[in-house]
Amino acid sequence: MPERDSGWLSGNVVDAEDARLATGVFASGGASAVQNRSGLKPFPSAGKVIPASPASGQVQVGPFQAVLQGTRSPSAGSYLVTLDQTKTIDVLGAVPAHQTFARVDLIVVRQTDAQYGDTSSALTVSHIAGTPAETPVEPTVAGDHIVLARINVPANATVIDTAQIVDRRVFTAAVGGIIPIASATARPVAPYPGQAAYRQELRLLEVYDGQRWEPAVTNSIATYGPNDAGWPQGISAGADSAKVFNRLTVPAVYFPRTLYVTAQAIIDSTSNVDRYDCTLSANGSVVGLSVVNSGPGAGMNTVVLTALVSQPANTVMTLKVALQRMDGTGTAGAGWGYPYDSINVLAIPTAR
């Protein structure tokens, strides 16, 4: 029958599946109306895999509680699982590194259940070793599980350090709660209108509107500047071509934005009577221009460029400031360094 026994009925009518389905009412939704999102209860160190101290071939897994959706039956329900103290796992002691090839290992949370044909019913937090290869891949994990971490094991490794561990934890929340996610790939698979998630890599709260994920506050802002690493760069500008002396890269986001751009530069001209064009470009298109007229005798001029730039969704924007002599015979220098030169951006999401 499609009607399941309700939770906590008397008379011994509620079996394990019924109980799991009943408690799943309180957890965030999953792939169907009667399934849940698998993930850890949010806490900074929950399920975090770190190297043992002092360094060795062991790792440690932080205590956690999690919701683990059963996959062996459409009505399997969700297991509520707990690791109540730190667990040490001997990665290289159990499976030493290969002498020639690297391998990829996983640390996983796995729930077995005799009701679905397993030999036991138990929660385990364990190490699954991959196969050494010239191009190693992750091992396949069967059954109901959550991956906590990937461990890259080089050939002849004798210790596991932080650089070898890739955090693969996913988190969940109570029904209606805000779910912390590492990236877009960790979003709920079947979101409902109004569901909220916090994008950790963007530091952005987003909400599903029934068709797409959007920033929760459409006028929320981000700032960038004053320049990319290694910029500005000193140049001497003549008439041959526009020379770029400062650059700023605005990263792509999944929604469109308007960029309010302000660039400043100091131009040092020679004694000639010259005209210089200082330009601001966005992805190769000029969006701002300032004309510098230098009089007799060497001198310095301050240039301020402003522009409104539309940043399409999923598009990196590269802003550049360049200088070129348009008239006269002299040269001018630019790119003296911050704070003489800067590009600053205020980014505001726009409606699609």
Q: What is the pLDDT of residue 163?
A: 96
Q: What is the mean pLDDT of the chain?
A: 92
In tens, the pLDDT along 11-23 reads 777 888 988 999 9
In tens, the pLDDT along 105-150 reads 999 999 999 999 999 999 999 999 999 999 999 999 999 999 999 9
Q: What is the pLDDT of residue 134?
A: 96
Q: Are 70 and 22 in contact (CB under 8 A)?
A: no
In tens, the pLDDT along 315-329 reads 999 999 999 999 888
Percentage of the chain exceeding pLDDT 70: 97
Q: Comparing 1 with 216, which gets the higher pLDDT?
A: 216
In tens, the pLDDT along 70-109 reads 999 989 999 999 999 999 999 999 999 999 999 999 999 9
Number of residues written out for the chain: 352
HEC string for 10-53: CCCCCCHHHHHHHHHHHECECCCCCCECCEECCCCCCCCEEECC
Look up residue 278 and give its amino acid. Answer: C
Q: Are 108 and 91 in contact (CB under 8 A)?
A: no
C-alpha to C-alpha distances, 298 to 126, 239, 267, 284, 327, nearest whole angstrom: 72, 18, 11, 31, 16
Q: Are 324 and 206 in contact (CB under 8 A)?
A: no
Distance, in Å, from the CA atom of 352 to the CA atom of 334, rounded to the nearest integer, reads 39
Q: Are 130 and 105 in contact (CB under 8 A)?
A: yes
In tens, the pLDDT along 249-262 reads 999 988 899 999 99
Q: Which of 130, 46, 40 is nearest to 86 (CA)?
A: 46
Q: Are 314 and 252 in contact (CB under 8 A)?
A: yes
Q: In 3-state terms, the chain is what percent helix, strand and coil (to 5)?
A: 5, 45, 50
Rg of the chain, C-alpha, whole Å: 29
In tens, the pLDDT along 163-174 reads 999 999 999 999
Distance, in Å, from the CA atom of 303 to the CA atom of 290, rounded to the nearest integer, reads 7
Q: Inform me whether the pLDDT recorded for 181 exceeds 80.
A: yes
Distance, in Å, from the CA atom of 189 to the CA atom of 69, rounded to the nearest integer, reads 13
What are the structural domains of the chain?
16-169 (no CATH), 178-216 (no CATH), 222-349 (2.60.120.1340)
Place of tokens 């004309």: 291
- Quickly state the pLDDT bin for 271 (edges 50, 70, 90): low
Q: What is the pLDDT of residue 219?
A: 59
What 3-state DSSP class applies to 314? coil
Distance, in Å, from the CA atom of 192 to the CA atom of 187, rounded to the nearest integer, reads 12
